[in-house]
Amino acid sequence: MRLVIMADTHVPKRARDLPAELWSAVDAADLVIHAGDWVDESLLDALTARAARLVGVYGNNDGPSLRRRLPEVARVNLDGLRVAVVHETGPAAGRERRCAARFPGCDLLVFGHSHIPWDSQAAGGPRLLNPGSPTDRRRQPVATFLTAEVVGGELRDVRLRPVPR
């Protein structure tokens, strides 16, 4: 199962649309995960129409219309891989411990908010992934998103994808 993982797209405030490279990845994916801060329903509609399957949550910059359509936390089982998606996890210090306590029984936690890519393993808890942002790199050298695969319930081939300027 091919995954595309994104967050903090902020369309159309930070960009008019997703980068072409990301749309190509969406077209090739079996599942697209969006960890919040869509900003406008038009991107949710476009991804819903184009993605084979979409799992998303709302973020702190998402208004009432997006909050009516999306949960704060999403959970999905991908061939035995137990995945949770949330926008905010709090400060970097202590993140693994907090997330292990908040998401027991979870193998993978996808989150956003910081626009900073993150990949760590909580002791006794989930692997934590933040894809950064494909449209608003903030203090990062490049904008980013993630691709990965799920094979037999295992997460494999996690790759941070830079978005060319």
Q: What is the mean pLDDT of each run of 10 residues along the chain (165 residues)?
A: 97 90 98 97 97 98 97 97 97 95 96 97 94 93 97 97 89
CATH of the domain at 17: 3.60.21.10
pLDDT of residue 162: 97
Nearest to 117 by CA among 108, 130, 128: 130
pTM: 0.97
pLDDT of residue 93: 95
pLDDT of residue 40: 94
Contact between residue 44 and residue 66 where contact means Cβ atoms under 8 Å apart = yes
pLDDT of residue 142: 95
- Residue ranges making up the domain that contains 117: 2-163
Pairwise CA distance, residues 20 & 18, whole Å: 6
Output the CA–CA distances (angstroms, integers) from residue 107 to 52, 80, 110, 120, 155, in the order listed.
23, 9, 10, 12, 9
Counted domains in the chain: 1
